[in-house]
Structure 1
């Protein structure tokens, strides 16, 4: 009999090929929030708010009674805690609510790291502007941000009383309730993508970023040149971190800042990374994290014993045209580039349309804006909606070079926003 799982949310949902693997998938999603093409890979779809554990339990309980699920999983940040509660409710193996909560709450995460003598970073849970000002006075340049923030939203560097007070007010205006301030970590940001099974953690890929002055990542590339210098430390820290949060199984994505004093934990997530990182890892390291998400917990595939060595380089770069109204998009691409366009007038239901279809393309371009569309300013990762390029090269540097060439061959002619 086939294995049976429930997958909560995902855009796109990483369940392509599930039927061929002998896995029956029940997708739990909000109506209208998933791509219709995913239905071919599902046993059925049930509708519920993916951040509401009680609603998810209500739709899954009768299905679980009829034929129990082997796993209930998610790979989207919004559903992390709710899915953890559902996993606990049904008594299944997976990412528990405790683990999901520790990873989401940056104050709880910093407290845990202190307990485990891991990645020392000065921080404070702040409840007033005076708290923030006092911290900056003690520690110098700092970062004030939501303790449960995502997508590089509402991050405010501050280095004196005036900037700390201004940052506090900005978070109040944005109705952010749970706030943390941390010492400013100077250095490049890198990440480690890992997979765990029975609490054995395997670091697999390591990537680096280019970002704008609002800390929004507009390029991901792997294997990271910056990370290689600290690779043994990064792998050890990743495993210690995942042990500390008691991650049982599944994918994880941990981000670090490479400071002059060594790597420091920035944040971590018990899910597949965003921005197409699993596809980059597949191209560069040869392991398919999307497939492993389905197969390793179910015993279909075995978690490798050792981390793979890179065999290529890969990069994804988002188009970041001038904000404004699009008059025209001009392409000057070579014939060997796989070019895809979303439908004019339609908003894709997934963050990276065509990603799974482009798996065999060494060079690909996806255009998501058309004549008359509006290009937003790049304030968060969610604003990376104009399209992207995907490249495989002989090394990370080669892939980045190819990506730059592809971006240069696409011209968004825009009437800038006033």
Structure 2
């Protein structure tokens, strides 16, 4: 029987753990998780998921009673704190240094430069004046964003010194303490979902995004057609990048911009992707990253020798209406689909609720080439 601790996250990655012979101890914050996850866990302990020493204090007595085989997380917020525990307990996995190298965008760029990968002009800036100076040096559009930002929050496209000053004020109002300025990367945004074990990286799925003017994705489709001409380069860059940051085990999600000069790293994460991406990858490539999250590190499943070819296609779209109140939703009773309705007054506890309910409902999803509806 294996035993792991999972810090934060949602039910999907630990669903079925018991049947696999894996005891899961979930570390989470009380009230911030779906209680339904409890049926998949040996126990749930409460601790702030961003506080490494607090998590270690909660897990060390359990580790001494019966050692954990792994301590892992699927959430960006717990990456460094989980790495702290991994280091302290001497376990394989994502170290605190690797988690920090991926979360700190300036450190990511430094490591890429050090290894001669994905050249992008950037600078850590400490004032609106420094941001304007960088803009003048680049001579084109630049992006100002938090150096440790997540989920496309507080990203500002800047073309003038006046815009740089306004963006700086907005970042300061949002209490952003570290700001990175980067040249604006022109081109489609794509991603590569990979899995690693014992230092071997296997790129699995590749997706493309449609985003709004705030750089927030509203559609993800897998596999990406625009990535195909660059696929060999993307896979090679992914592997070399993961080596550069010291990742040796587990899932990763790396995002790129397909610029006229070639693919450039946008950012990467040592975790499963959001937006339902693991389910898209499962449908399009036949690889269950949610399952692998548990099984590959423990040796239950093994990584394929090579990147798989797609077997179908999958996509997810998020509706982004104007702010307001939804009075009613009408669904045609003649539609041959299965529906899930959220009870009135109940707030979903997990991202993309009910997605797991449809994991085995292939007829509800079209599988085939991904077609851009705008074409």
Secondary structure in 2 matching 1:204: strand
Unaligned runs of 5+ in 1: 365-390, 405-418
Contact 1:129–1:165 (Cα < 8 Å) also in 2:
yes
1:392 to 363, 366, 370: 366
Secondary structure in 2 matching 1:275: coil
Partner Cα separation in structure 2 for residue 137 and residue 334 of structure 1: 59
User: With structure 2 as the length reference, what TM-score do the two structures score?
Assistant: 0.97
Return the offset for 1:290. Answer: 0.3
Specify the alignment match of 1:16 in structure 2: 15
Partner Cα separation in structure 1 for residue 112 and residue 338 of structure 2: 45
1:122 is the counterpart of 2:124: no
Specify the alignment match of 1:246 in structure 2: 246
Partner Cα separation in structure 1 for residue 358 and residue 334 of structure 2: 17
Specify the alignment match of 2:326 in structure 1: 326
Return the offset for 1:321. Answer: 2.5
Specify the alignment match of 1:209 in structure 2: 209
Return the offset for 1:89. Answer: 0.5
Contact 1:336–1:363 (Cα < 8 Å) also in 2:
no
Pair 1:67–1:225, CA change in 2 (3 A) = same
Partner Cα separation in structure 2 for residue 257 and residue 207 of structure 1: 12
Deviations 1:205-237 (A, max 9, x none): 000111111011111110001111100000000
Return the offset for 1:319. Answer: 2.1
Contact 1:283–1:392 (Cα < 8 Å) also in 2:
no
- 1:188-203 correspondence to structure 2 within 5 Å: 188-203=188-203
Contact 1:194–1:204 (Cα < 8 Å) also in 2:
yes
Deviations 1:393-413 (A, max 9, x none): 21111xx65xx9xxxxxxxxx
> In the comparison of the two structures, how many residue pairs are matched?
373
Specify the alignment match of 2:164 in structure 1: 164
Secondary structure in 1 matching 2:263: strand
Specify the alignment match of 1:375 in structure 2: none
Partner Cα separation in structure 2 for residue 294 and residue 336 of structure 1: 35
Specify the alignment match of 2:304 in structure 1: 304
Deviations 1:314-364 (A, max 9, x none): 001112223201111111365432211111101111011111111122465
Specify the alignment match of 2:108 in structure 1: 109
Secondary structure in 2 matching 1:307: coil
Partner Cα separation in structure 1 for residue 290 and residue 348 of structure 2: 21
Secondary structure in 2 matching 1:280: helix
Contact 1:315–1:392 (Cα < 8 Å) also in 2:
no
Partner Cα separation in structure 2 for residue 336 and residue 269 of structure 1: 38
Partner Cα separation in structure 2 for residue 121 and residue 252 of structure 1: 21
Deviations 1:39-90 (A, max 9, x none): 1111111111111111111111111000000000001001000000000000
Partner Cα separation in structure 2 for residue 242 and residue 81 of structure 1: 16
Unaligned runs of 5+ in 2: none
Contact 2:197–2:296 (Cα < 8 Å) also in 1:
yes
Secondary structure in 1 matching 2:153: coil
Deviations 1:275-310 (A, max 9, x none): 000000000000000000000000000111111100
1:226 is the counterpart of 2:226: yes
Partner Cα separation in structure 2 for residue 338 and residue 314 of structure 1: 18
Deviations 1:130-154 (A, max 9, x none): 1100111111210001000111111
Contact 1:28–1:50 (Cα < 8 Å) also in 2:
yes
Return the offset for 1:248. Answer: 1.3
Partner Cα separation in structure 2 for residue 9 and residue 392 of structure 1: 32
Specify the alignment match of 1:184 in structure 2: 184
Specify the alignment match of 1:4 in structure 2: 3
Pair 1:115–1:334, CA change in 2 (3 A) = farther
Partner Cα separation in structure 1 for residue 143 and residue 352 of structure 2: 30
Partner Cα separation in structure 1 for residue 303 and residue 94 of structure 2: 17
Specify the alignment match of 1:264 in structure 2: 264
Pair 1:313–1:13, CA change in 2 (3 A) = closer
Specify the alignment match of 1:281 in structure 2: 281
Return the offset for 1:11. Answer: 2.7
Contact 1:338–1:361 (Cα < 8 Å) also in 2:
no
Return the offset for 1:13. Answer: 4.9
Partner Cα separation in structure 2 for residue 215 and residue 156 of structure 1: 9
Secondary structure in 1 matching 2:326: strand
Specify the alignment match of 1:65 in structure 2: 64
Partner Cα separation in structure 1 for residue 119 and residue 295 of structure 2: 36
User: How large is the Cα RMSD of the aligned pairs?
Assistant: 1.3
Deviations 1:366-404 (A, max 9, x none): xxxxxxxxxxxxxxxxxxxxxxxxx4321111xx65xx9
